[in-house]
Structure 1
Amino acid sequence: KGQLVIKTNNSSYKISTLPGNDFPLFDNSNPTETFNINQEKLLTLLNKTHFSMAQQDVRFYLNGLLLETEPKRLKAIATDGHRLAASEMTIEKKQLNTTASIVPRKAIQELIRLLVNKEDVKAEIGSNSIRFAFNNLTFITKLIDGKFPDYNRVIPTNTEINIQLNSQALKPSLQRVAILANEKFKGIRLETTGNSLDLSSENPEQEEANETIPLQEKIKKIVVGFNVSYLIDAVGSCEGSAVCLSLNDEN
């Protein structure tokens, strides 16, 4: 009793066990919302946002991804306090209730690894846990008990400067300029000069990198700085060949 015995032809092992009654159970018998979603679409939604989740932040509610359901829509939002990623998709088959759930970072990473085909996922959102059933697998995780920041306040509705770019040209340029950026701060400079966007970086060893990307139209002069890793993550998550950088001013 209290031990597991494993025997083969030439060996045997005796391993201590713990009482099965001590295994944690998740009560998800009365979910507040249930819906089905295509695995591929859910994976796309998570891939567009998960990179902005915080890692071991003292603001524990940032160490996860916010999943919001609204009538006909599912939203995913993540922020680490420095950047924010938000994406949404349409749920056509059902009128959803309005819910907000913060799924832990590790659970999101594991879910991304498990979503491998185009079959549907059955999602059940409870008061303190969320369940995903797919591929003969049931994946349950507790939710983070906290209030996620009001992300709508930091997403501008109107912008004065909109720079249209080809993502296939922008991402490689960012990756090349990042090589000589300061290793600690990863800062690069973006400057519009007429019909072009200039990217530049430098480091304490007095090394420099400069790239120029032609623009489709003339943009007023503006100089801004960004963490290049943030830009690469954002551009890499975009679908299609077009990407738009929208700003109000240099601040």
Structure 2
Amino acid sequence: MSTASAAAPVGRWTTGRVVEVVHEGTALLRVRLEVADRVDHLPGQHYVVRLRADDGYTAQRSYSVASDPGDPLLELLVEHLPGGEVSGFLHEVLEVGDVLELRGPIGGWFTWGGAGDLVPAVCVVGGTGVVPAVAMLRHARRLGVSDRLRVVAVGRTRAALPYAEELGAAGALVALTRENLTGADGSVRVAAPPYVDEVRDLVEGVDRAYVCGSAGFASFATRLLGEAGMRATGIRVEQFGASG
């Protein structure tokens, strides 16, 4: 077990009171909660949200944390999945003031930003997999070490990419695969996945990389990093299934 994993905080079951609910289009929901007896997380960790019916039936799902550990509220991003019990309820029923059962923070392998662990790093993230990278960027900005984190964020369109505006403002390389992207300087990036030449300079001098997205995206991103010169042993991957 790595040092970062051993040092990562772990929280037990608790509750979170919903303070803010923001629908972003029809597929994404940003939820901010005030968590009882909260254990401060590290960027890259996640929480489990559990729903409980009157008859005792439960359903739960894990969500990466988007907020910086210094944020007084916990921020989660929920993608509305077809037939998803948890995501469907959260999108259609959840209101400010509701209380959710939560367990977290969880996970140590995918973390960045713990004591002595602010090593230069690069993130290649896609779709809702951008969430842990957003937490890392917010953490780096608060600590004044934004130069230690480089992010490549991939989405189908700008509207479908979570936190697209914030990622772009933070200097992330945003690559859209289904529409062209016009930069602030008027330059146009043609719709395509990120190229090796776009990533090569980002991995220079970096010993750790984070990949997060669907299984297919994770495979692509890992290969991309390797072709750009990143050591395979320095790549940490977190992937999910069809929800990507």
Structure 1 length normalisation: TM-score?
0.24
Higher helix share: 2
Higher strand share: 1
Tell which has more relative contact order, 1 or 2 (C-alpha 8 A, sep 6+).
Answer: 2
Larger radius of gyration: 1
